[in-house]
Amino acid sequence: MIHRALDAGINFIDTADVYSQGESEIIVGKALADGRRDDVILATKFHGQMGVPADAPAGTKGDPNSQGNSRRWIIREVENSLRRLGTDWIDLYQVHRPSPGTDVEETLSALTDLQRQGKIRAFGSSTFPPHEIVEAQWVAQRRGLGRFVTEQPPYSMLVRGIEADLLPVAQQYGMGVIPWSPLAGGWLSGKYRKGQDAPGSTRANRLPQRYDLSLPENQRKLDAADQLGQLADEAGIPLVHMAIAFVLQHPAVTSPIIGPRTMEHLESQIGALDVTLSTDILDRIDEIVPPGTTFSRADAGYVPPALTDPFARRRRTA
Active site residues: 19
Q: Which of 93, 201, 155 minimizes the C-alpha distance to 301?
A: 155
User: Buried (b) or exposed (e) across 190-215, using 16+ Cβ within 10 A?
Assistant: bebeeeeeeeeeeeeeeeeebbeeee
Q: How many Cβ atoms from other residues are within 10 Å of residue 39's Cβ?
A: 9
Q: Please check whether residue 268 is in contact with residue 238, taking contact to mean a CB–CB distance below 8 angstroms.
A: yes
Query: Rounded to whole angstroms, how far apart are CA atoms 6 and 153?
Result: 23
User: Which residues have CB under 8 Å from 57's CB, separation 6+?
Assistant: none
- Rounded to the nearest angstrom, the gap between the alpha carbon of residue 188 and the centroid of all alpha carbons in its chain is 16
